[in-house]
Amino acid sequence: MSVQSVFASLRRSPLLMSLVRWFDSEAGLDALQLQSKSKIDWFRIVPFLALHLACLAVIWVGWSWFAVAVALGLYLLRMFAITGFYHRYFSHKSFKTSRFFQFLFAVLGNSAVQRGPLWWAAHHRHHHRHADREEDIHSPARRGFLYSHVGWLTTRENFPTQMSYVGDWAKYPELRWLNRFDIVVPIILAALLFGTGKILEVHAPDLGTSGPQLLVWGFFISTVVLFHGTATINSLDHMIGSRRYNTPDTSRNNALLALITLGEGWHNNHHHYAVGARQGFFWWEIDITYYLLALLSWLRIVRDLRPVPERARASNLIRPVAAESRP
């Protein structure tokens, strides 16, 4: 059987093509466009469902302080890669960096199992263009909490990368590759965690960990918590919190979500002035991602952090902010 006939067979079988897309996210996209767009692709999202179910394995592998610390460390590192780079860099160009660090942090963001950097940035740019209008694919005001939180990810229409939104990044072949084969880095991370746990089980038994335990805590649990933490900005941060700025959407500021997401919870601020590297506009609005970006700027890893102008902080206010409270 020729290679051409194999691909022809795959194209005739949506089930097989969904399986191929587990590994190659651009496989058969022309055929995908012909299928029902709003329909859930159950077979395609099996890995996502399995990621959640695998957390139940904690019943058998137990826990150790070391495994929990690894899970927390990977949560924080990957959350920063998502908030600092997938969001503020790739989506909004809030600062600059070299091509090397651009790719390095794209890899770290990809390890969070939130698809590739181009896919992520394209959807986010689309969200800002159509926030809380009918075209917004994850607006709780339009489709409710559950769909805005996770449901939109399961439908065929939201699977392809909207390249028209990310032409500036699509010119980098390494980013295109990472975006297309977005499962490679997560598999490598999972394998490294399992292998490290096996080594520590033999050579550092006092840590009380093992290969399966480190895999469950460091990869499955950490990744699932990270995903739902990130997703709260699409869902809860358009539902619960306060509004300082009169933006044409339902974005809100939520201090708790800001802590969970290292600063993304100041969402009303962000929708008011999206290109700033800082989302906590005032000194009391904790924005850990910004503090880390400032540190990277001091280390000359990133540069040209876009500030939030005073005119932006002071305009379109729903309620006034005391001048002495401003940084």
Per-position pLDDT tens, the chain of length 327: 454 555 555 555 666 666 777 777 877 666 555 455 567 778 788 899 999 999 999 999 999 999 999 999 999 999 999 999 999 999 999 999 999 999 999 999 999 999 999 999 999 999 999 999 888 888 898 889 999 999 998 888 888 899 999 999 999 999 999 999 999 999 999 999 999 999 999 999 999 999 999 999 999 999 999 999 999 999 999 999 999 999 999 999 999 999 999 999 999 999 999 999 999 999 999 999 999 999 999 999 999 999 999 999 999 999 776 543 444
Residue 124 and residue 197 in contact, taking contact as beta carbons nearer than 8 Å? no
Residue 50 and residue 224 in contact, taking contact as beta carbons nearer than 8 Å? no
Cα–chain-centroid distance for residue 303?
22
Locus of tokens 């994850």? 138
Residue 179 and residue 119 in contact, taking contact as beta carbons nearer than 8 Å? yes
Model pTM above 0.85 = yes
Residue 166 and residue 122 in contact, taking contact as beta carbons nearer than 8 Å? yes
d(CA 117, CA 110): 7
Q: Which two structure tokens, joined as six digits, stand for 265?
A: 């919870």
Query: Looking at residue 11, what is its pLDDT?
Result: 54
d(CA 154, CA 147): 9
Give me the half-sphere count of Cα atoms (radius 13 Å) on the Cβ side of residue 311: 0
Query: Looking at residue 15, what is its pLDDT?
Result: 66
Give me the half-sphere count of Cα atoms (radius 13 Å) on the Cβ side of residue 3: 0
Where b means 16+ CB within 10 Å and e means fewer, 298-317 reads eeeebeebbebeeebbeeee
Q: What is the dihedral of CA 20, 25, 28, 31, to 10 degrees?
A: 120
Could you tell me which of 116, 103, 118 has the C-alpha nearest to residue 164?
118
Query: Looking at residue 312, what is its pLDDT?
Result: 93
DSSP H helices in 156-205 = 167-170, 173-180, 184-203
Give me the half-sphere count of Cα atoms (radius 13 Å) on the Cβ side of residue 50: 8
Query: Looking at residue 43, what is its pLDDT?
Result: 79
List the domain boundaries for the chain.
1-30, 40-325
Q: Which two structure tokens, joined as six digits, stand for 263?
A: 């600063």
Query: Looking at residue 324, what is its pLDDT?
Result: 37
CA distances from 47 to 25, 217, 279, 314 (A): 13, 17, 33, 46
Backbone angles phi, psi at 35, to 5 degrees: -85, 170
Q: Which residue pairs, CB below 8 angstroms and at least 24 apart, start in 281-288? A: 281/308, 281/313, 282/313, 282/321, 282/325, 282/326, 282/327, 283/325, 283/326, 283/327, 284/325, 285/253, 285/255, 285/258, 286/255, 286/258, 286/259, 287/258, 287/262, 287/263, 288/80, 288/262, 288/263
